[in-house]
A = this chain, B = another copy of it.
Amino acid sequence: MANKVKEAWRSGRAVVNGWLAIPNGFSAEMYAQAGWDSVTVDMQHGIQDYLSCIACFQGMQPHGVTPLVRVPWNEPGIIGKVLDGGAYGVICPMVNNAEQARNLVAYCKYPPQGTRSNGPIRAGIYGEGGSYQKTANDEILVIPMIETSEALDQLEAILDVPGIDAIYVGPSDLGLSLGLPPKLDREETNILKIYERLIRECDKRGIAVGLHNGTAAYAKRMIGMGFKLVTISNEVGLMVAAARAAVREARG
């Protein structure tokens, strides 16, 4: 059950990540065929819950994208459930200090590295011959979100927690935390400097940096800056934008 995102990172390549807010397996299935490296079910701000996440995973599975989840909160119950359900990685919101990061790692890994409970009911499919439990601690991505000023203050301590594979930046929350309006694709100099610092500190430690983007053009720039995982809007955002444009054009 090699994790293709990890493979991409080992070869120095950035991954392009999809994002699912619509709680439906058919929608996920069609979207997963658009060329993404990985697709994340957003259980925090998307209209998703645990069973819709499973349905989205089932829809994605034949299409070769790595299934990730953004969990609603840093809580062991739901993290265990989505991993058992087949997530290859967990993006966790609002990780603001080393203790929270250590908890996240513990929830994601089997003993002795962590406290995850055994029972990979769907995830076991991925491993031939019961091999899942042997490789999961190495293959599952642990990805705390860095999106507050507190997290920036604690950055090095967070990044030094063993077991973190990547961090993920939420530009809206980061902005709110710094007293700026919530939005994506930011151009404020201080924000861009933060991005540079994040990349620098992560690069030192072999940790990838991910970013949520509003547009493909900005995502491309951010790959150039050193981000290794870029998300572009989400499926419903792309759909509504395309629909608006189509209506406008048809009406002339």
Interface residues of A (CB under 8 A from B): 16, 18, 21-27, 29-31, 33-36, 44-47, 49-52, 54-55, 58-59, 61-62, 71-73, 75-78, 80-81, 84-85, 93-94, 110-112, 115, 117-122, 125, 133, 147-148, 170, 172-173, 176-177, 179, 181-182, 215-217, 219-220, 223, 230, 232-233, 235-236, 238-252
Contacts and interface: CB of A to CB of B under 8 A. Distances in A.
5 contacts: A49-B51, A72-B81, A73-B80, A133-B181, A230-B250
B45 A84 contact: yes
A36 B250 CA distance: 10
A181 to B, nearest CB: 8
Contact of A248 (B29, B35, B117): B35
User: Copy number of this protein in the oligomer?
Assistant: 6
A111 to B, nearest CB: 5
A111 B219 contact: no
A119 B49 contact: no
Query: Which of A51, A85, A119 has the most CB atoms of chain B within a 10 A radius of its CB?
Result: A119
A208 B35 CA distance: 40
Contacts of A243: 18, 31, 34-36, 235, 238
Nearest to A39: B243
B177 A111 contact: yes
A121 B31 contact: no
Nearest to A43: B81
A117 B94 contact: yes
Given A45-B117, A61-B61, A121-B47, A220 B249 contact: yes
